[in-house]
């Protein structure tokens, strides 16, 4: 059965991994999820990610290494999916929200690819507001 919202599934897997205090999280790989991981790594929310080769006709897997400050504290304290398949959320460059007064990031899908809210404001681009991380 096909998945209707792979981004929400990916964010939920990360959230569940944090709550269960796992070191790594597995998810089906895609170019969009790899770009999300690149942005999260650049901003310091995850330690890194790898793509695991498919086994005998299966799909490739994305291994996300979570970043822990100590055994109880994760770099990510919250994740929120903003634009959903049932209700898309588009923003102009002047109306991009600041997450937690600038302490978090919003990830947008723009005409120049995925980027953080700061990069989109700097380039004067709007787009679909995918998620917020803090």
Query: Can you give the CATH number for the domain in which 106 is found?
Result: 3.30.1490.10
pLDDT attached to residue 52 = 95
Residue 1 lies in a domain: no
* Same domain, residue pair 18 and 57: yes
Q: Are residues 63 and 113 in the same domain?
A: no
**Number of separate domains in the chain:** 2
Quote the pLDDT of residue 57.
81
d(C-alpha 2, C-alpha 4), whole Å: 6
Structural domain containing residue 53: 6-74
Chain center to CA of 62: 13
**CA 73 to chain CA mean position, Å:** 19
Among candidate residues 100, 95, 93, the one with its CA nearest the CA of residue 119:
93
What distances in angstroms separate CA 133 from CA 45, 51, 61, 86, 106, one per listed residue? 8, 22, 22, 21, 6
Q: Are residues 36 and 23 in the same domain?
A: yes
Given a cut of 70, whether residue 119 has pLDDT beyond it is yes
35-84 pLDDT tens trace: 999 999 999 999 999 999 988 888 899 999 999 988 889 999 999 999 99
pLDDT for position 100: 96
**Per-residue pLDDT at 58:** 85
For the segment 24-40, what is each residue's pLDDT rounded down to a tens digit?
A: 999 999 999 999 999 99
């Amino acid at each position: 059965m096909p998945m209707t919202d792979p981004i929400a599934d990916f964010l939920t897997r990360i959230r569940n991994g944090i709550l269960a205090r796992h070191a790594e999280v597995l998810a089906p790989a895609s170019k969009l999820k790899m770009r999300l991981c690149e942005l999260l790594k650049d901003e310091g929310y995850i330690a890194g990610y790898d793509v695991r080769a498919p086994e005998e006709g299966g799909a490739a897997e994305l291994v996300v290494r979570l970043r822990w400050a100590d055994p109880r504290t994760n770099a990510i304290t919250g994740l929120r999916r903003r634009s959903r398949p049932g209700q898309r959320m588009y923003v102009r460059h002047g109306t991009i929200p600041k997450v937690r007064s600038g302490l978090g990031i919003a990830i947008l899908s723009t005409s120049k690819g995925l980027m953080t809210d700061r990069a989109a404001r700097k380039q004067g681009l709007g787009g679909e507001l995918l998620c917020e991380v803090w």
